Amino acid sequence: MTRLLFTIVLCASATIAHWLHERLDRVILAAPDALAETLPTIGSLQLVSLGYDHVVADYYWMRALEHFGTPAYNAFAYPLLEPMLRRVLTLDPYFKTAYVFAGTALTLQRMDPAKANALLEQGLKYRPDVWQIPFYLGFNRYYFQQDYVGAAEALSIASKYPEAPPITAQLATRVAAHAGRPEFGIQLIDEILERTKDEQLRASYLERRKSLQLDLELGFLNRLVQRYHGEHGVEPKSIADFVTAGYLREPPHDPFGKPYRLESDGFVHSDSEGSRLRLKPQAAGAIFSDGWHPPYREDQLPPE
């Protein structure tokens, strides 16, 4: 009887797969909302699975990977990816790899990180043995939502796992104490990059790292404005004054390759500021406090 039911489930899955592929082949890619509507409801999938939810979950997992690996869907921010992963993790809520994938892939450009976090929060309940789930949740809360308390809580959970990176506990404490200072986000991204193989995801995290580095460097250069005024009694007129004063070897460029400039408002700016992580006011102020000196790029530091 069990074999018969399993055979029926496989046949039903194959029929659904064929029907979905035919529907998707007829859909115009310029209508991503219509694409999302082609998926059966989770309730209907649970009914069709006849108790073999994990079989249907595996089918949608393969479809999700295929969808993510199709370059044509990138322009539309992978409209089926989150619905498919939600079906996978509803049908099989113990699927570790799917949680980790969702926590990273659902944060690409033009996607809603809150949906990634919703699945990660579900993962905390069903897979409390997986350190990556609270770790990625902590990063997403820090970077996308500027929820520093929530980020610290998630990183604190991750730090209790022996397998977690040793720096996790330190980051949890610092994120809570220093309200989103960008150097801690850079450390988080470096840990993520060590464990990320997918080239598309790596490229996305590298862009985020540049955004945080931009915040870090703008903070450093604006500290130099204050230092110059304190030592010379006048405001600097341009970035070149920092070179003349021996603060920098040469006028620096930002992580995106564009030059910094000192503007009439008395602050250093860059054309790349549209890519900048928008910290809350108290976080931005923390960059200039307590005498902290950021690790500026070595080729632009003056000799000791």
**What domains, with CATH codes, occur in the chain?**
2-183 (1.25.40.10), 201-300 (no CATH)
- C-alpha–C-alpha distance, residues 123 and 133, integer Å: 7
DSSP structure class, residue 253? B
Please work out, in degrees rounded to the nearest 5, the angle formed at the alpha carbon of residue 293 by the alpha carbons of 287 and 294.
75
* DSSP secondary structure, 281-298, as one string: HHHHHHTTSTT------G
- C-alpha–C-alpha distance, residues 26 and 6, integer Å: 31
Contacts of 285 (CB under 8 A, 6+ apart): none
Q: Digits of tens for pLDDT over the chain (304 positions)?
A: 554 454 454 455 545 544 545 554 444 344 444 454 478 899 999 888 888 999 999 999 999 999 999 888 888 889 999 999 999 999 999 999 999 999 999 998 789 999 999 999 999 999 999 999 999 999 999 889 889 889 989 998 998 898 988 888 777 777 766 665 777 778 888 888 888 888 888 888 898 888 888 888 888 999 999 999 999 999 999 999 999 999 999 999 999 999 999 998 899 999 888 765 554 433 333 333 333 344 444 444 444 3
Residue in the block written with tokens 């920092």: 242
Amino acid identity at 243: V
Q: Where are the alpha helices (DSSP H) in 160-198?
A: 168-178, 182-194
Residue in the block written with tokens 């980020």: 151
pTM: 0.64
- Nearest to 142, CA basis, from 183, 197, 196, 201: 183
